[in-house]
């Protein structure tokens, strides 16, 4: 397949929403596995999960096979290969990686990775997709099976994004961060749309989330693989206030937050911001009124938690108030002596 036509099928794929069930078309979008098992109760839920994972794995294999069709598979030294110039994950799932290492140790590497000649270094390569397989080969001390394609940066990010979309194991926020990184590098929205198979509206919302939620907070939460766009967007809106943002940074440093998994951290932060933004209860106020025997002035006193207010009324209110203001120094000195 020529380089010109290499990614033609990718850029023509239908653009969809990301992790946003409410925006899906009215007609059924269920996969065959979901259709088969949606009415089977608890057992169906287990079967559904297994079937869906199998379908995702098969979809990835078919996608990669189409992209690598007719290419020669070679074996490369993992130390000659660098990671992609744009990251697409927040953190690695170590349990899943260990399973991959065990599988490759036992059965070998089933599917080759894709690399391109390094754009800046001779005799080196850059990973387009297959980072986990590359890392596993490095951990096992063996060569990695790979296909070498001459791609420019634009073709690289589209292939990388499309392969991850087919794999369906990137969370919403990881895809949003990937989109933001591409935009920061100057890529047009059309390229980002093609890379992630989403429409222009979804790309805009994804990038807006990353602008409203600072990187340090996203990093603290993690990938939240089971949380969709709506939950992240809800938190993003709350963090548009500097005061709420300060409270969020306090929450992510708390022991309760740090003890949770990624999805629960996002929920914890969302709930915590709701509590912290609730209106404060008014201070309890005690009120009393003092009057002299002649009744020419009335002094209402109000004691709050950290304040004390005097309100003067009646005929001599102004005169008495003026006298008080002019004698505050001597009055305060008398107070200090009385309380020493």
Is residue 151 scored above 50 in pLDDT?
yes
**Mean pLDDT estimate for the chain:** 81
Give percent of the chain with pLDDT exceeding 90: 52
Q: In sequence order, what are the residues at sequence separation of 6 or more whose Cβ sits closer than 8 angstroms to the Cβ of residue 314?
A: 291, 295, 296, 297, 298
Instruction: Give yes or no: residues 165 and 246 share one domain.
Output: no
Instruction: Give yes or no: residues 38 and 55 share one domain.
Output: yes
User: Which stretch of 25-34, 175-184, 191-200 has the lowest confidence by average pLDDT?
Assistant: 25-34
Q: What pLDDT, on the 0 to 100 scale, is given for residue 28?
A: 40
Report the candidate in 240, 196, 220, 242 with the shortest Cα–Cα distance to residue 15: 196
Over residues 282-307, the mean pLDDT reads: 76
> Which of residues 250, 278, 306 is at a domain's end?
278
Q: List, as one string, the DSSP characters of 42-100.
A: HHHHHHHHHHHHHHHHHHHHHHHHHHTTTPPEEEE-GGGEEPPSS---SS--HHHHHHH
The helix or strand, by DSSP H or E, that contains position 268, with its residue range, turns out to be helix 262-276
Better-scored residue on pLDDT, 17 or 71: 71
Is residue 125 scored above 50 in pLDDT?
yes
Better-scored residue on pLDDT, 259 or 48: 259
Task: Tell me which DSSP letter residue 111 carries.
Answer: S
Is residue 15 scored above 80 in pLDDT?
no
Report the candidate in 112, 176, 126 with the shortest Cα–Cα distance to residue 155: 126
Q: What pLDDT, on the 0 to 100 scale, is given for residue 105?
A: 96
Distances (CA, A) of 302 to 77, 295, 310, 335: 80, 20, 7, 19
Is residue 174 scored above 50 in pLDDT?
yes
Q: What pLDDT, on the 0 to 100 scale, is given for residue 299?
A: 87
Please check whether residue 207 lies inside any domain of the structure: no
Its domain, for residue 328, covers 286-338
Give the chain's domain count. 3
pLDDT digit string, tens, across residues 231-276? 999 999 999 999 999 999 999 999 999 999 999 999 999 999 987 5
Instruction: Give yes or no: residues 330 and 246 share one domain.
Output: no
Q: How far apart are CA 227 and CA 291, in angstroms?
A: 64
Cβ atoms within 10 Å, residue 328: 9
Cβ atoms within 10 Å, residue 234: 14
Model confidence at 230, pLDDT cuts 50, 70, 90, reads very high
Instruction: Give yes or no: residues 36 and 149 share one domain.
Output: yes
Model confidence at 190, pLDDT cuts 50, 70, 90, reads very high
Residue 29 has phi, psi (to 5 degrees) of: -115, 20
Q: What pLDDT, on the 0 to 100 scale, is given for residue 36?
A: 46
Over residues 294-301, the mean pLDDT reads: 86
Instruction: Give yes or no: residues 168 and 47 share one domain.
Output: yes
Model confidence at 277, pLDDT cuts 50, 70, 90, reads low
Please check whether residue 64 lies inside any domain of the structure: yes
Instruction: Give yes or no: residues 314 and 171 share one domain.
Output: no
Q: List, as one string, the DSSP characters of 147-183.
A: EE----HHHHHHHHHHHHHHHT-S-HHHHHHHHHHHH
Q: Provide the sign of the torsion angle of the four alpha carbons 102, 103, 109, 115, taken in this order.
A: negative
Please check whether residue 205 lies inside any domain of the structure: no
Instruction: Give yes or no: residues 38 and 60 share one domain.
Output: yes
Q: How far apart are CA 153 and CA 167, in angstroms?
A: 21
Is residue 193 scored above 80 in pLDDT?
yes
- Residues 38/31, Cβ–Cβ less than 8 Å: no
Q: In sequence order, what are the residues at sequence separation of 6 or more whose Cβ sits closer than 8 angstroms to the Cβ of residue 254?
A: none
Instruction: Give yes or no: residues 24 and 108 share one domain.
Output: yes
- Residues 236/213, Cβ–Cβ less than 8 Å: yes
> Which of residues 233, 261, 278 is at a domain's end?
278
Instruction: Give yes or no: residues 44 and 191 share one domain.
Output: yes
Report the candidate in 61, 186, 184, 182 with the shortest Cα–Cα distance to residue 129: 61
Please check whether residue 144 lies inside any domain of the structure: yes
Is residue 281 scored above 70 in pLDDT?
no
Q: What pLDDT, on the 0 to 100 scale, is given for residue 337?
A: 87
> Which of residues 164, 198, 232 is at a domain's end?
198
Q: What pLDDT, on the 0 to 100 scale, is given for residue 315?
A: 87
Domain of 183: which CATH number? Answer: 3.90.1530.10
The helix or strand, by DSSP H or E, that contains position 310, with its residue range, turns out to be strand 308-313
Q: What pLDDT, on the 0 to 100 scale, is given for residue 58?
A: 60
Is residue 219 scored above 90 in pLDDT?
yes
Is residue 62 left, alpha or beta, with left meaning phi > 0 and alpha meaning psi from -120 to 50? Answer: alpha
The helix or strand, by DSSP H or E, that contains position 311, with its residue range, turns out to be strand 308-313
């Amino acid at each position: 397949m020529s380089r010109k036509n290499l990614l033609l099928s990718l850029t023509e794929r239908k653009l969809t929403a990301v992790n946003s069930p409410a925006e899906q078309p009215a007609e059924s979008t269920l996969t065959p596995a979901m259709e088969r098992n949606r009415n089977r109760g608890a057992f169906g839920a287990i079967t559904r999960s297994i079937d869906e994972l199998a379908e995702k794995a098969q979809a990835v294999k078919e996608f990669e096979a189409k992209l690598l069709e007719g290419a020669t598979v070679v074996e490369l030294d993992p130390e000659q290969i660098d990671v992609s110039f744009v990251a697409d994950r927040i953190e690695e799932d170590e349990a899943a990686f260990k399973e991959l290492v065990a599988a490759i140790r036992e059965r070998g590497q089933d599917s080759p990775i894709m690399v391109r000649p390094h754009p800046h270094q001779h005799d080196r390569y850059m990973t387009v997709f297959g980072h986990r397989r590359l890392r596993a080969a490095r951990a096992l001390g063996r060569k990695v099976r790979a296909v070498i394609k001459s791609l420019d940066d634009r073709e690289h990010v589209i292939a990388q994004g499309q392969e991850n979309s087919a794999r369906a194991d990137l969370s919403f926020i990881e895809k949003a961060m990937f989109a933001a990184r591409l935009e920061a590098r100057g890529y047009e929205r059309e390229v980002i749309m093609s890379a992630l198979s989403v429409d222009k509206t979804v790309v805009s919302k994804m990038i807006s989330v990353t602008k409203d939620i600072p990187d340090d907070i996203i990093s603290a939460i993690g990938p939240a693989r089971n949380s969709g766009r709506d939950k992240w967007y809800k938190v993003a809106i709350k963090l548009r206030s500097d005061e709420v943002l300060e409270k969020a940074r306090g929450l992510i440093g708390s022991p309760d937050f740090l003890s949770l998994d990624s999805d629960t951290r996002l929920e914890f932060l969302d709930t915590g911001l709701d509590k912290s933004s609730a209106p404060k209860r008014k201070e309890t106020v005690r009120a009393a009124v003092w009057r002299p025997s002649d009744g020419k002035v009335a002094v209402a006193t109000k004691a709050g938690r950290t304040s004390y207010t005097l309100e003067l009324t009646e005929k001599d209110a102004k005169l008495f108030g003026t006298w008080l203001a002019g004698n505050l120094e001597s009055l305060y000195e008398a107070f200090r002596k009385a309380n020493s």
